[in-house]
Amino acid sequence: MQMACSNCGKELMEAAVFCIYCGTPVAATGREPLKPGKLYGVIALLCAAEIFLAVLVYSLTIWLLGVGLLTPSITSPLEFLWAIVVMSLCLLSPFCAIAGIVYGILGYNTEGRRYAYAGLVLSVLYTLLVLLLVLPFIAYILLVPPFIAYIIFVLHR
């Protein structure tokens, strides 16, 4: 969309800040800069989106392993690339969870309250979802081997 310079009248692009012909500053056309409160809210929402993406990719990986489309050992370049994506998302998720919660709290009492509140709630919910997905594996790793060792010890007495 085109607009005209208020000083010389030449046509300018809408995104222009100064007239390229006479150097006159162009009046703001209703564009509002992103305020810190809204920025906090947007960051909180982006963090929540990353956590959701990590949960989605992790769940898809478990499903692909279950149906045999992926193998536990990496046998192709595509599986190697997928493993890098999964590991990157999973390693980034705790930091995004913390950042989403912090930025959600920072932006809560500002003009970006809706975004911040949504980012805060989603970050907490997705973090709980990640914990629900991961805690059974941690419990399995911590509890099952000692239990099996105890059973073997008792049976061999």
CB 124 within 8 Å of CB 44: no
- State the Cα–Cα distance between residues 45 and 47, nearest whole angstrom: 5
Has residue 1 got a pLDDT over 70? no
The predicted model scores a pTM of: 0.56
Per-residue pLDDT tens for 83-115? 888 878 777 777 888 888 888 888 877 777 777
- State the Cα–Cα distance between residues 58 and 86, nearest whole angstrom: 7
- State the Cα–Cα distance between residues 157 and 13, nearest whole angstrom: 87
Mean pLDDT of all residues in the chain?
A: 77
Strands 2-4 and 11-13, how do they pair?
Answer: antiparallel
CB 119 within 8 Å of CB 50: no
| Position 64 confidence tier, pLDDT thresholds 50, 70, 90 | confident
Beta strand ranges found along the chain (DSSP E): 2-4, 11-13
Has residue 138 got a pLDDT over 80? no
Both structure tokens of 76: 């192709």
Which pLDDT score is estimated for 144? 75
- State which amino acid sits at residue 6: S
